[in-house]
Each structure stands twice: as C-alpha cells, then as structure tokens.
Structure 1
Amino acid sequence: MKGHLLDDRDIAILTVLSREGRISKTDLAQRVNLSVTPCWQRLKRLEQAGLIRGYRADVALNKIGANVVVFVMAELDSHKAENFQAFERAMDRYEEVTGCWALGGGYDYLLQVITRDVASYQALIDDLLAARIGLKRYFTYIVTKEVKASGLPPLDALLRPKRID
C-alpha cells in the first residue's frame, strides 16, 4: 500500500476486523458494503502492507485458571544504545512478558507480565536480575481488578484517510 491512501472502506475493514477477527469474508464484505472479491483484495493488500499483524482469540484467562497480571516500571542502570538494545532483546526471551513499551520520562520501560501467581512473578524478576540485562530498579503494580481491556481504541476515530509511505 506504499503511497496509497487508506479510504473509508479500508478503515471500515480494519475496524470490523479489530472487533471481530473471525468474521467470514462474505459477512465482512456485507458489513463494509463491498462485494466479496474487492473486499478480499483490499484485505490482502492491508495484510501485505503490514497493517494487519494477525488474528487472535481474546482468551478469558480467569476462566482457565489462576493468574496474576503485573505492570512493572523498569529503570536501566545505563542509558547507552547497546543497553537498551540488550534489554529489549531479552524481553523477547520471556513469554510471561506480554507487553513491553519504551517510555520517555522518569522510567525507561513499562512491562506487562502475566504469570500463574505472585511467586512465579517473583521468580521471573529474580531471573531478570540474574540475567544482567541492565535492570537497575523496578516497581511492581499488581492488577487487582480488570476494569476495561478492550485492546484497541475505535479505529474509525483514529484512522482518517492518510498516505502510507
């Protein structure tokens, strides 16, 4: 899609898929007011452009078994490029780290961690500290109740026609 604009139909396709990833191609086409073939072509173009990263199930972890969600504010001991790169590479090795964002401001990273229990979380932190990946300090915030976790904001409000380069 390099150099192409996202139009209202592309935005509609992305909006529907962000809420209903398992929708059939026929139903998707109807929802965005296109016939199946043009809708399919647009969908493939959006995937090839990297705008659709995948299709996932929203699993209700609390119905499967015990788990704890923890947000961690992390500070590195050095702010050299290679230290940030080493830390970021290390995050890929830990499946319990389900989200990692680099921050501007007081802390360097925000991590989302999901483990079976607090003891498992502490074992992960012990591993991170032993791995010598530059973790200087960390602050733990345990989620006590999920209030809202919709995943994405309303795409139609964010995505106005724009050029993709």
Structure 2
Amino acid sequence: METLDKFDLAILNELQANGRLSNAELASRVGLSAAPCWRRVRALEESGFIKGYRAEIDRHKIGLGVLAFVRLDADRNAGDVLRGLEEAIRAIPEVVSCHYISGTGTFELQVVSRDLNSFSQFARDVLINLPNVKDLHTSFSLGEVKASSALPLGHLAAGIGAAAATQSASPAPRQTKTKTK
C-alpha cells in the first residue's frame, strides 16, 4: 500500500487526534463499516504509515520542568566517528529528540531535566563527555507555544482531489451499439 485514498487520510487524521478510538467509533467517523475500516488500519500499520501508538505524558506532571535545546558540535564529522556519537546519544533517556542539522553544529538535541541545576550537572557529566564532542550551545524553552506530533496531511488530500478531478475530466469511453439479429 503506497497510495492513500480519502478514507486512509481520514483514518490517519482521526488516529493522530486520538489513537485510542475503538474501531467502531473510527469507522463511524470516517464513513466506513467496521470490517473495511479495520482492514485499512492494519494495512496502514503493515505498510509503515502508522508506526505505533503511545501515551503522551505531560513532562511537567512528572517533574521534568526544563526543556533545553542543545546544539552539539562534533570534533570531526567522519562517518564512523558520527555513528559512535549517534549510538551514544540514542542511549541517553533525557535526550528526547536528536536531529543531524545543517549550518552551525552537528546535532540539535532536545533534553528534558528536572530543573536548571540538574540540567547543568547533566551537561557537565554526560553531554560534554560524549565521544568526539567539541562544544555545546544551549537554549532553554521559556514556554511552549505549540507541541504536537500530528503531521499535516493536506498535501496528500490535495493530490487525491487532483487525481479525482483528472479522472472526471477524462472523456468517458465511447459506447458503440451493435445490432443483434
């Protein structure tokens, strides 16, 4: 399954908003009966469009009040050296996101911590001691404006609409009458 139709997009939108919907509720919301809806969800999972279902935890409620954005500069950007650094970063639970970036720096990390003191200790004990780290530059979140893991799907819906318009604009096949004796 590599092409998505309007039902697949509706399923993805609904599950992004609430991954705990029952199949019956999901089917009702997207305009399908339960069995075809279930088959489509399974197909979306098997083809990798849906990667999993997770609980979204409020970091403040569990005492992680600091969110830091850390630009990490590697000493050398050679393949083997970077792979070792990537593996080390993946093993750190406080690093909730890491991206290989363009421009200044090698990686941009999102790090959670209880408070500024614990982050400072973590940076000195863990981050600066990662293999091949040359420098760290940190910025702190002063407040969250938007935090969403839901991906926009409008560009896919536009493609479906264009495909449907192209099909409806195509002339219908000509029917010829044949005489029967």
Give 5+ residue unaligned stretches, structure 2.
161-181
Structure 2 residue identity aligned to 1:111: L
Task: Name the counterpart of 1:70.
Answer: 68
Structure 1 residue identity aligned to 2:33: S
Q: CA deviation at 1:143?
A: 0.8
Asked if residue 147 in structure 1 is aligned to residue 145 in structure 2, the reply is yes
Give 5+ residue unaligned stretches, structure 1.
none
Distance 1:146 1:130, change over 3 A: same
**Structure having the higher Rg:** 2
SS of aligned partner of 1:61: coil
The higher relative CO (CA closer than 8 Å, separation ≥ 6) is in 1
Task: Name the counterpart of 2:129.
Answer: 130
Task: Name the counterpart of 1:7.
Answer: 5
Task: Name the counterpart of 1:57.
Answer: 55
Q: Give me the CA root mean square deviation.
A: 1.7
**How much identity, in percent, do the aligned residues show?**
37
Contact 2:128 2:135 in 1 (8 A): no
Matching residue within 142, 153, 159 for 2:156: 159
Contact 2:15 2:21 in 1 (8 A): yes
User: 1:24-53 CA deviation, whole Å, 9 max, x = no partner?
Assistant: 111111111111111111101111112111
Q: CA deviation at 1:57?
A: 2.0
Partners of 2:70 and 2:114 in 1: how far apart? Answer: 16
Q: CA deviation at 1:66?
A: 4.7
Task: Name the counterpart of 2:22.
Answer: 24
Q: CA deviation at 1:151?
A: 2.2
Q: CA deviation at 1:134?
A: 1.2
Partners of 1:54 and 1:109 in 2: how far apart? Answer: 25
Partners of 2:151 and 2:64 in 1: how far apart? Answer: 28
